[in-house]
Copies of this chain bind each other. A is one copy, B any other.
């Protein structure tokens, strides 16, 4: 069995469907209207992606003809789909993911609590923080040695990147604080803590 590959759009769709069964049209609206606007929305992307996911048995579409409206094909995730999602969000954080702008990492994180619980999120944040620190120090040393020979706009563009990553780095601390707070204030997850030794 080849290690079935799924595009980022595919994971975005799978994640949304796993949280809440939806039709292609619903998903398009989400991409078009919410903060997930980067992912691309057009029917020519979404419907084929859904078909692929269905052919891989990661989602299942059922036609809902209840209301008087046109037939809607509502997809829900299968156990295999949820498992695949878990595998994806559990992937170790690579420096290459960080380099590419960390968008995919943030997508993973946004689904993380639903899939792995607070412990998974905390673990991810720690990995992410370490990767950011490493990448940042590389960027900063690059800027120190090469910055002077760049035109002002080039130097400023580079600095914008550094600021962005430093902001993310600070955000990880903030997010970790938020999680620690939520874990202490409502210690309902003692069972999950006990079984959650994975990785």
Interface size class of A (residues with CB under 8 A): 35 or more
Cβ contacts under 8 Å, A99 to chain B = 37-38
Q: Does A196 contact B (CB under 8 A)?
A: no
Q: Which residue of B lies closest to A179 (CB)?
A: B152
Cβ contacts under 8 Å, A121 to chain B = 152-153
**Contact across chains for B153 and A110 when beta carbons are under 8 A apart:** yes
Contact of A153 among B101, B113, B164 (CB under 8 A): B113
Q: Does A112 contact B (CB under 8 A)?
A: yes
Q: Find residues 154-190 in chain A having any chain B CB closer than 8 Å to their own CB.
A: 154, 156-161, 163-164, 167-168, 170-171, 174-175, 178-179, 182
Q: Which residue of B lies closest to A116 (CB)?
A: B153
**Contact across chains for B146 and A34 when beta carbons are under 8 A apart:** yes
Number of this chain's copies in the assembly equals: 2
Majority secondary structure, A binding face? helix
Cβ contacts under 8 Å, A35 to chain B = 139, 142-143, 158, 161
A18–B34 Cα gap in the complex (Å)?
Answer: 38
**Contact across chains for B151 and A113 when beta carbons are under 8 A apart:** yes
Pick 6 A–B contacts, CB within 8 A, sort by A.
A34-B142, A101-B101, A114-B153, A152-B178, A160-B168, A160-B171
